[in-house]
Structure 1
């Protein structure tokens, strides 16, 4: 037996109230036909909207995840998470406008200033997947569990200035002037502008630093302030979520200033290692020269001894050969003389 839509709605309405639906999602903004356009226009980047029906089972299953991502973006002026009951008769014109043909239908809707062209969300319905989608579209750095990544609050163009600010050779006045120019280009009163001003606030604090000692004191303050903000950011449940996020983002910004200290320390270590290496190379060169000198002396001594030995052997050989030659010549002469005498006697006898 097939049930009509009205019968299904009545059936789900009879379920225990403990089975929450999207209408019960905490932190998610409730959209209505009267406030829909205003809410969409209020965000600088867009709003993730779940078009739902109270009787929809899949919508009810989505509520726990929807509450988590809505909490992650609660108070964020870039993006918002919201839900809209598209089953009401008064809501159907908006549902038709955004092409809602089933529940839940999830769409990311930019404000009119960004074109207002809705984009259907077709990814997995998990906290991780929703956050990845929103981070990409909103320029945020949110993590599951309400945490922020190390890049949250950072502004790349100001990061590069901060990284070179607390080094002894920095031209701080010109760097600060460049930072002011970047901040002045941000026209709205969004949280990103407030964070940009924090970069300038830190730079202003140390604009008069003139020597290495002052730079060391500035770096020490940065590290101390990072630790203080880290303690605030870790007090989940004790401090308002917005204050926790602010502390975490300021801590991230200070990391950009601290990177200059790390780079300077690294360069110092490299210089020290290079000097040590050169010193070691000098010792090795001296040692090599000594070894070469000793080897040369040894080679000369061996060559001299070899030459003397060869000369002695040559003299002995020559003497021996001369003696042998003399003996051989004498023997030959004796034999020749004897032969001549014998021949003479023989001839004499025949005569």
Structure 2
């Protein structure tokens, strides 16, 4: 049975469950909007969720500098130092990178131009990569020259073939990340056709710990208006020309109301698919951020076990200490729902060479009486 857990020392929550169970929490937004999250998992999975919480505020630095080598108003530069970011353009070449963690880091800069064939996209035409920096807070990196520095180079190009079906719009993204979490977007397109040519960092410039992230997403409809999606994220240090295999479309779920009182309780039933057997997520939104409601229900593979149908119902929290029914979904309002699932292969070592994450979702609406 559901029970309230009160906050303990250092803003922590401690409770006992059996081999598996669920946790739920509510956050309040502006103007009495509420977001309810329910997570079902095994004891180990729930413990892992708790270890991801970080209540400390990291100490970060900021640095400044100036970009050289931007040749037109159509070019921009982005810079990253350990996850801290900054940007510059042809009219304003000065930059500030904020949010830089302490330690020795790599500087990744990307000079991009609007893709004339696809004005909503960007393609890198120069990359700046300098390793082993540990600048003092408030210091200057000087001039980052994309044209005349030995740290600057032209990206290579790789060709990716992605199988899509009629009526699908293809979104493509390539990012590069070093082992110090410095990163840059090399290519972005919201209206690609297969095969896709994308910039990559040459193998001669990469080092141990570096990875390219390749993201290809097929939308049933268009990027801005669609009813279903299937996607893949895959990681390589040095990508080759290759065929990228998306997973299948998500099975059409059954979305209904398990009950309408004391508040609408959503239920989803989705056939399990081999390609998507790592996480299942169902979300519902009602209204705007002003007085709206959001419900997210996550289910782990350990909790599901060998079930062939992922059957999830929003619980009835009535009578549980601390719960108010006003936190729940609204009656008489349309709920926009998303049912999604994901699967991971090659990920036993975490984010590493060969990791692939396939996901898919479907969208719809449900009226609450």
Question: TM-score normalised by the shorter chain: which range applies?
Answer: under 0.3
- TM score, norm. by length of structure 2: 0.21
- TM score, norm. by length of structure 1: 0.22
The structure carrying a bigger helix percent of its residues is: 1
Q: Which has the higher contact order (CA 8 A, sep 6+)?
A: 2
The structure carrying a bigger strand percent of its residues is: 2
